Amino acid sequence: MTVVALVGTQWGDEGKGKITDVLASKADVVARYQGGNNAGHTVVVGDTTYKLHLIPSGILYEGTTCLIGNGVVVDPKVLCEEIAYLHQSGISTANLYVSEKAHLIMPYHRVLDQLEESQRTLKIGTTGRGIGPAYVDKFMRMGVRMLDLKSRESLERAIDQVLPFKNQLLQQVYDHPGFIREELVEEYLAYAETIVPLLADTSLVVHEARQAGKSILLEGAQGTLLDVDHGTYPFVTSSNPTAGGAAPGIGIGPNHINQVIGVVKSYTTRVGEGPFVSELNDATGDLIRERGREFGTTTGRPRRCGWFDAVLVRYAVRVNGLTGLAITLLDVLDALETIKVCVAYEYRGERLEQMPADLEVLKECKPIYQELPGWQVDTTKVQTFADLPLPAKEYLTFLAEQVGCPIQIVSVGPRRDQTMLLQEVF
Ligand code: IMP
């Protein structure tokens, strides 16, 4: 029995969907613990590309139990669409369960997300999916939960607790007409038909799986630098993607998590606003964007690209307690003659090895680079670490040394067979 948490170590989009998919082949249970459909996971199986936002990519394996934990905020419209999409693709969702405690994204959350963002002088660049406003209501204790979908009465009761406040806010502050109670109730009762049969005590499902000696993968969305506590606040999401978020987000004791694997791109990307020390606003950045197909799965926005930032990943190793790294998209660097790694920051003449908390400091930081030779060899068919070109091995070894964590997995393409397992996970 092994419980592994899989987290993003940068600003999201590290390739967690693919690594989850690879590990899910050996996992009995895959559980998402935070975020919502702001995430986007792309998984390539044979000639088919699957894009999922909410349902763990473990669903692509028959027999793997997939859970959406209580820490996730669920847009039921998106969940129903994803279930329909999987069914159309011939994939069963018989083993999908959703926590009855998970909070629902409501239409006013999406509208408020967009209106609030438009009013901010300091734009966060949210995905506009209603994620932040849904978490606000959760912590304000006025959220609508999955449990509330179980009957018309409970749904009406939950909506009545919150809608007058939302309508007042929308009408008086944003000059928006607001939402009609009956329309919301009918819309959500329609989703309930699909979703209520999937509701479960997902904490208990995980507990029983552990007791039966099963392998469990806890899947984080977004990344460490988007964590509301540990990320580049306020340019963050509204949940805890770090490994610590897995315990409350699923309902598992932190002492039951045996390994924490950090997924890390062989370079760095960021969507949305905020400082990015190793950003490349030049032809190399464009080359990485094109080769890495760095356009958002959820929003289609071009991602900002830059060199690998060891300061960020060193920090991610610390705040997540990483036990291993899964390095993704190594092949994107195949074309480069030389590759830089940001090993430290320079701030007003001072060398910083650790991530500063103050964004005003971070904004002024300049990257201190170490340049390494590229390999200029196609790595997409390489099957073992030993067969990688020497400069690629040296690059990976350098990254592991810089951040202080061993490499467990290397990925050289989107397909399942483009993955090297240096050390078994399950
Ligand atoms: P929100 O999560 O929609 O509130 O957006 C907050 C910030 O997190 C924005 O900068 C988004 O671009 C970023 N973000 C949210 N989800 C993801 C993701 O899955 N990948 C990358 N960035 C994300």
pLDDT digits (tens, 9 = 90+) for 277-332: 999 999 999 999 999 999 987 778 899 999 999 999 999 999 999 999 999 999 99
The beta-strand segments (E) located in 357-417 are: 366-373, 407-411
Which among 405, 406, 407, 336 has a CA at the least distance from the CA of 372?
A: 336
Convert the pLDDT of each residue in 24-83 to its tens digit.
999 999 999 999 999 988 888 889 999 999 999 899 999 999 999 999 999 999 999 999
Is the beta carbon of 199 within 6 A of some atom in ligand 1? no
Name the amino acid, one letter, at 415. Answer: R
Whether domain 2-100+198-259 has CATH 2.60.40.10: the reply is: no
* SS3 of the chain: helix, strand, coil, percent, to 5: 40, 25, 40
Give the distance (Å) from ligand 1 centre to CA of residue 38.
6
Determine which residue's CA is closest to atom 5 belonging to ligand 1.
Answer: 126
Mean pLDDT confidence for 208-237: 97
The gap from C-alpha 409 to its chain's centroid, in whole angstroms, comes to 18
Mutate to test the pocket of ligand 1, among 219, 271, 297, 305 (most ligand atoms within 8 A of CB): 271
Is the beta carbon of 126 within 6 A of some atom in ligand 1? yes
Mean pLDDT confidence for 361-390: 98
Question: How far is 227 from 2, CA to CA, in rounded Å?
Answer: 25
Where are the domains positioned within the chain?
2-100+198-259, 103-195, 264-421
Is the beta carbon of 124 within 6 A of some atom in ligand 1? yes
Mutate to test the pocket of ligand 1, among 112, 116, 226 (most ligand atoms within 8 A of CB): 226
Question: Helices (DSSP H) in 347-389: which residue ranges?
Answer: 359-364
Region at 32 (left for phi over 0; alpha for psi -120 to 50; beta for the rest): beta
The gap from C-alpha 223 to its chain's centroid, in whole angstroms, comes to 6
Name the amino acid, one letter, at 128. Answer: G
Inter-axis angle of helices 310-320 and 390-403, nearest 10: 50
Mean pLDDT of the chain: 96
Question: How far is 226 from 424, CA to CA, in rounded Å?
Answer: 28
The pLDDT of residue 169 is above 90: yes
Inter-axis angle of helices 152-174 and 181-195, nearest 10: 130
Sequence-distant (≥ 6) Cβ neighbours of residue 117 within 8 angstroms: 123, 124, 125, 126, 128
Fold of 103-195: Adenylosuccinate Synthetase, subunit A; domain 2 (1.10.300)
Give the distance (Å) from ligand 1 centre to CA of residue 129.
10
104 contacts 85 by C-beta, under 8 angstroms: no
Which atom in ligand 1 lies closest to the alpha carbon of residue 35? 2
219 contacts 18 by C-beta, under 8 angstroms: no
The per-residue pLDDT for 159 is 98
The per-residue pLDDT for 1 is 81
The per-residue pLDDT for 298 is 75
> What secondary structure letter does DSSP report for 290?
H
Mean pLDDT confidence for 184-197: 98
Convert the pLDDT of each residue in 395-409 to its tens digit.
999 999 999 999 999
Mean pLDDT confidence for 171-177: 98
Three-state secondary-structure class, residue 373: strand
Which atom in ligand 1 lies closest to the alpha carbon of residue 271? 12
Give the distance (Å) from ligand 1 centre to CA of residue 393.
32
What residues are annotated to the active site? 13, 41
The per-residue pLDDT for 365 is 98
The per-residue pLDDT for 297 is 75
Which among 224, 220, 204, 185 has a CA at the least distance from the CA of 19?
A: 220
Give the distance (Å) from ligand 1 centre to CA of residue 211.
35
Is the beta carbon of 125 within 6 A of some atom in ligand 1? yes
Mutate to test the pocket of ligand 1, among 34, 126, 138 (most ligand atoms within 8 A of CB): 126
Determine which residue's CA is closest to atom 15 belonging to ligand 1.
Answer: 38
Question: What is the pLDDT confidence band of residue 381, given thresholds at 50, 70 and 90?
Answer: very high
Is the beta carbon of 226 within 6 A of some atom in ligand 1? yes
Is the beta carbon of 132 within 6 A of some atom in ligand 1? yes
Determine which residue's CA is closest to atom 16 belonging to ligand 1.
Answer: 38
Is the beta carbon of 235 within 6 A of some atom in ligand 1? yes
Determine which residue's CA is closest to atom 1 belonging to ligand 1.
Answer: 126
The per-residue pLDDT for 42 is 85
244 contacts 254 by C-beta, under 8 angstroms: yes
223 contacts 7 by C-beta, under 8 angstroms: yes
The gap from C-alpha 288 to its chain's centroid, in whole angstroms, comes to 21
Give the distance (Å) from ligand 1 centre to CA of residue 90.
30
H or E stretch at 395 = helix 390-403
The per-residue pLDDT for 177 is 98
Is the beta carbon of 268 within 6 A of some atom in ligand 1? no
Is the beta carbon of 237 within 6 A of some atom in ligand 1? yes
Question: What is the pLDDT confidence band of residue 272, given thresholds at 50, 70 and 90?
Answer: confident
Is the beta carbon of 22 within 6 A of some atom in ligand 1? no
Instruction: Tell me the CATH number for domain 264-421.
Output: 3.90.170.10
